[in-house]
Structure 1
């Protein structure tokens, strides 16, 4: 059969030639009267004209009137989207991009024998691609991306040996890419992504493969067998992101000395990164984010080899499993560098003062670094986006960050920073969002910060040691969407000027020392969705205006000193949206039978003190000890006036991160309730008899210990039968399903392992230890640059 294909192909081409010749002849005779009136038309011009009219005849919808001018009143060279040569008046270009055209593509376009550019991208052409396009010998550019073409790529379409740009992306094409593509010696731009193509790209040596991250070209699958590729000689750019490419990332890419853009993010390569970047002297964009499926460590020297890349503007090597100390030579990278992202790796050490040399930086992200933040960072005056979260930075925040006049997002949360918030931050007049939570910052909230009218997204200063009152300037943040000041030592009245934050949706000022009444002026904040006032010293009546907040979905007023009657309308009618426990002077409200009683709510927040826990655990003795970890010890005890055993988890506060784990566990446990989650009875935050901080969590006691014991200890191994194992798995899955899908915000446990699965008297499993919990409150949290923490192997 293979030996007959050339004959059949030739016969088919001859038939097609004769057929269309007869059609043109008959059509020409039938329209002779029309064309005789225009002496400018000759036979060849008429061929082009009829081909264009055939194109128009198959268009079923033209919403913008792109083809309105295609009539006898105008010469076809003057028709919209048509370009003709100056000498012979033959069609050399047809450009109708993004015109909303619907219909099929006429095979008569193949009669436009002088056509050099055919651009029909972003329309709604359907059916197959006419194989007659293969006649267009002079065609240089074919762009039919983002249409609805189906079927295979016609083999003879690649007969246009002058093709330089070949764009078929974002259609419904199937099958493989024809091997004849290897004959296109002039091809330098190929787009085939976002189709249903299979197999590899055969015999490519000089072609640019471009699957840009966009609606058009991402998510193409298995299109290039990298593991079989030995030689690559690419020009300009290589973009293959958002695919399932596997195998070894070829070291031969090092030989692409003219390569300018190298974008391979989000794939599944194995092995190590062995590309020698020092040879890519023209490179300006490197994107290697989440490219390795295997977790073999990469040498940090790969970054050092970039010092020769003097034209580099974008460097993204996020989550590439780099290990080692951050090189001091980081400041020797290109002074054209604008984006530098090495986050979600295992880099450690100090942030070199040489970072100040990269004066062109606009984006900067790191992680796992230690030491102080060098004041030289203030030289980076073009910075717009900084992510330093989840590092181990120490000491004060340098005052030189006030030089970042163009910064709009600043994230330095979850570090060990201390000292005051620099007043110079008030110079960052383009700042939109600020994260400085989970540090050791102290002092007052500077009014200069609250006078930044640019703050429109949010401010998070929670989990610090801030004190003093909330400045009245808070009311200047009229466009602010969220404000988080929880877990500090802020005091005084809640200023009435807070009502100026008319766009505020989320307000968290829980776990502070605020006092006094809620001011009537706050009634203007009707856009609030969540309001958390938990654990302050607020007093007076619960304002009736809260009943009228139609957007309010969650209101926590627990453990304050509110009094008199609880309102019954609005959010107060929803027992799942309101918490008022610990206000002893309140009465009324929440009377529906299907809602929990006040006593059952109070039970969750039982108050215990250090002396009580000391007694119930026999002085935290070894005989009461039932478990021990790096950041806590767990004791068994019997609560006074309560006929039940409990587990007392005492935090080792001298251990790094223990305080954060305590806070996160409290937040997680008080926002969830499920039969397969280990129930928290209460917590204790106090001081011991030596005046040291003391923090503990009290849980239901699990008599059958942990799943780890049943799996790994010989005393239990023979007693865990198959039905029990299945039931335990179901219990765990039920708990995770609830955390992921049925509580708000979504909670990710991050430390699920057999030691944290506890079994009660009936062998029912309960998921415990929420010290590494993450809350996914917004869509952006799903793409957080924070690294995954927890027990590797179980995560």
Structure 2
């Protein structure tokens, strides 16, 4: 083995000038065996290279701990010679090949941990020789074949972790013989058949997970009778059916019960209320029902669960009236999911008792009545989705008390005629507001301009009137839907100054006068203005009559010429140094031709990007300093990129901070120009016919995802300090001339300084961390920044890259997120949810050529990618796959694809 890390190496003191028993990580014996090495404890020593077979000569070795390094190659079978070995931990490396059969000869092993590697092949049949084994951890590899029956013959085993592999077939019945077993995790495999009834005999079991498999059958009525120590059970995303047994109450220590995305039917047994430690009850996506009051009894009994935090009942067949006892549930509740059912009656009037509620999903039901006044007590509420119901009455002014709201969706209800209250302006954190298909009247309140984080405003199909000029102040607005109202006056030219705006629907109103011809109004596919009879002018593609008052246009030059003082960053390489010496003599204005539209590349929430016109070597990001938090974004980006260096991160060439000729602040960042644009532009090409040639095959998509994973792994684990990007999405993945991906836009990034999986609260708690659809759910519940949040966004990015669908795509099944859409698709036919281009070009060509083997392997790769995306976007942050393990899985997929090419 060799060491890397510090200039001298982590094992620099391992030399002949010092006694080896004094070397770091080496533990020797007592007086009788002063020169006998008993343990090598070298976890997280930044070691690389292959494992030496000569380790097998350390015959007195009891512990070999090499976890969390960069070891490669195969596990040497010579380790089987270590007959005294008790602990072998090689986890979190890059080891390949199969698990050596010879390891079974180390019969004194109590701990065998090989997890988070790239091991393949089948689990050896002879491991039952390890009679002293207490922990068997093979999770997160590429192991295949069936679970050996011989694993049932490990009398001392307490922990058996086999999740995140490619295991198939039945779960061995004999595993129920383990009387000492505490944890059994088999999730994220391809297991089938029923769960053996014998597992119900393991009274010691506390953690059981089989989620994301292809298991079927029912849960026997007495399944939980003996599981008195069970604390966590994950059975979601399988094909289970039948009833949830009342014997669940016997598992009196249960804190997590996750059964979502199956085919469970019947009612939820009221016995769940006897689970006093229950924190998480998730049964969304089943066939469960409730109609009569007795069917809802479980809600009343759940009031006994004082620590309940999540209640998921969505996408089932619940009907009837939600009992008033719902308002008496635990004040610890954070998330309630009742969406996509047929629940009727009023929303419980005392729902405000649930004072810590942050997420409330009521959409797609039959709720009637008005919004209860007590709703205003939910001052922690971040997401309220009550669309597609029959809620009536006016929108109460107390809605302004919900100052933490990020997403408010009240669309497609029966709110009576009345104006949107001016208190809406109190919702300073609001990013999404849906109020479409109601009967709102009056003018759009001027106070709405105070919601400066608003990105999506949807108010079509109402009775709104008056001007819309107030909306020009919403600098972060990305999509505006106002069709089928009674809005009038001229279309404000200032809407064209909203650089983030990418869709505008003003159709079927009473607008008149000249249509602007700047900004979004220059793209006929991005606006809809039909049904306004008195409009004129605009770009030719709109085919409107000319305006009689239209005057000849003057050619406007960019009026604000910055007098720049460029703070040149230190050169990184000679090529970059040359580029700086030749480029910095030009003024930015000249370099971009006055920031002309011809050199415009794109825009985001805090800046617009232009390319340098002559060499196309650099891109200039000009900050929109009038946008709230733009200065903080500038500082965050500079601070985050000041010391990091990685081939898959965008490079800062120079930073410019000065004033323009009117004395206004001017700030810009100059980067390497990425000639192939963003990943978003390849996945979702424009429909104007100019970029129809863009196509990424599966090999390219995997390569891009691998590049992004390398970037995140560096940011999270290998840079000068851990950095959370906080805005991983396809538009921030940029492609150079060689299609190498670079992660950009560090405007929301945070340098993390505390230990642990979660870090301190952001100092800018008013800013939503990330983008709707990509942002981790915990960010909406308190803005806690962590590297786990990036992994969630990356998981959504995987699903988007392989499915070709945006996370906010309206074409998904109603009420489904992209993740749920993929989960459901994996139960049916994976090619139906893959990007149409992948299915039609890559897969069907192989079928037509008769290459069934290649077709199957490619489909397997799609399944693996989708499963990886789902694994990364788990709701619980601690359940998400870390970046280094993502890299291992993508390498495995890449190798499989390379094998297809060579067939």
The question of a shared fold, defined as TM-score above 0.5 by the shorter chain, is answered with yes
Deviates more, 1:378-387 or 1:195-204: 195-204
Give the corresponding residue for 1:233: 178
8 Å Cα contact 2:331/2:354 also seen in 1? yes
Structure 1 residues 362 and 86, CA, compared in 2 at 3 Å: closer, same or farther? farther
Distance apart, 1:99 and its partner CA? 4.1
Change (3 A) 1:126 1:536: same
Q: Alpha-carbon deviation of 1:540? A: 1.0
Q: Which has the higher contact order (CA 8 A, sep 6+)?
A: 2
State the alpha-carbon separation in 2 of the partners of residues 281 and 118 from structure 1.
36
Equivalent residue, structure 1, for 2:50 = 104
Following TM superposition, by how much is the alpha carbon of 1:743 offset from its aligned partner in structure 2, in angstroms? 9.5
Instruction: Tell me what 1:376 maps to.
Output: 325
Cα distance change on mapping 1:575 and 1:271 into 2, 3 Å? same
Tell me, which stretches of 5 or more residues in structure 2 are unaligned?
546-686, 689-802, 829-903
Matches within 5 A, 1:51-62: 55=1, 58-59=2-3
Task: Kindly name which structure, 1 or 2, has the bigger radius of gyration based on alpha carbons.
Answer: 1
Structure 1: where are the runs of 5+ without partners?
A: 1-54, 599-671, 674-739, 750-772, 790-795
Could you tell me how far apart the structure 1 residues matched to 2:8 and 2:374 are? 53
Give the structure 2 partner of residue 442 of structure 1: 392
Counterpart in the other structure of 1:756: none
Three-state SS of the structure 2 residue aligned to 1:347 is strand
Are residue 344 (structure 1) and residue 291 (structure 2) matched?
A: no
The answer (yes or no) to whether the contact 1:62–1:102 under 8 Å persists in 2 is no
Within 1, Cα distance between the matches of 2:498 and 2:476? Answer: 7
Residues 198 and 69 (structure 1), Cα distance of their counterparts in 2 relative to 1, 3 Å cut: same
Equivalent residues in 2 for 1:737-776, closer than 5 Å? 746-748=809-811, 774=814
**2:161, 2:183 within 8 Å by CA — same for their partners in 1?**
no
Pair 480,118 (structure 1): closer, same or farther in 2 beyond 3 Å: farther
Report what 1:413 is aligned to: 363
* C-alpha contact (below 8 Å) 2:377/2:401 kept by paired residues: no
Cα distance in 1 for residues equivalent to 2:818 and 2:450: 27
> Do residues 318 (structure 1) and 358 (structure 2) align?
no
Contact 1:482 1:507 in 2 (8 A): yes
Q: CA deviation at 1:572?
A: 1.2
CA, structure 1 residues 424+112, in 2 after alignment: closer, same or farther (shift >3 Å)?
farther
Which of 341, 359, 371 matches 2:306? 359
CA–CA distance in 2 between the matches of 1:555 and 1:243?
45
The 5 A counterparts of 1:486-497 are: 486-497=436-447
- Relative distance call for 1:780 and 1:432 in structure 2 (3 A) is farther
Number of residue pairs matched by the alignment: 559
Give the aligned partner of residue 194 of structure 2: 248
Change (3 A) 1:94 1:408: farther
Structure 1: distance between partners of 2:22 and 2:405: 53
Change (3 A) 1:775 1:268: closer
Length-normalised TM-score, structure 1: 0.65
CA deviation vs aligned residue, 1:585-607 (integer Å, no higher than 9, x gap): 11112413xx6779xxxxxxxxx
1:8-407 alignment to 2 at 5 Å? 55=1, 58-59=2-3, 65-71=9-15, 76-85=20-29, 90-200=36-146, 201-205=148-152, 206=154, 207=157, 210-211=160-161, 218=164, 220-222=165-167, 225-226=170-171, 232-233=177-178, 235-274=181-220, 276-292=223-239, 297-298=241-242, 300=243, 302-332=244-274, 334-349=275-290, 350-352=295-297, 353-366=300-313, 367-379=316-328, 380-407=330-357
Q: Helix, strand or coil: the match of 2:211?
A: coil
- The 2-side partners of 1:369 and 1:787 are apart by 25
Alignment partner, residue 462 of structure 1: 411
Q: Distance in 1 between matches of 2:823 and 2:321?
A: 24
**Alpha-carbon distance between aligned partners in 2 of 1:311 and 1:119, rounded to the nearest angstrom:** 34
1:550-588 deviations in Å (ceiling 9; x for gaps): 111110001111110111121111121100011111111
Deviation at 1:86, TM superposition (A): 6.1
Helix, strand or coil for the counterpart of 2:128?
Answer: helix
SS in 1 for 2:501: coil
Whether 2:483 is the aligned partner of 1:534: answer yes
Deviation at 1:180, TM superposition (A): 2.4
Counterpart of 2:450 in structure 1 is: 500
Cα separation, 2, equivalents of 1:589 and 1:82: 77
Matched-pair contact (CA < 8 Å) for 1:384–1:409: yes
1:189 and 1:101 mapped to 2: Cα distance? 24
- 1:7 corresponds in structure 2 to none
Kept in 2, the 8 Å contact 1:63–1:101? The answer is: no
Q: Using structure 2 for the length normalisation, give the TM-score.
A: 0.57
* 1:601 match: none
Report how far residue 231 of structure 1 moved.
5.1
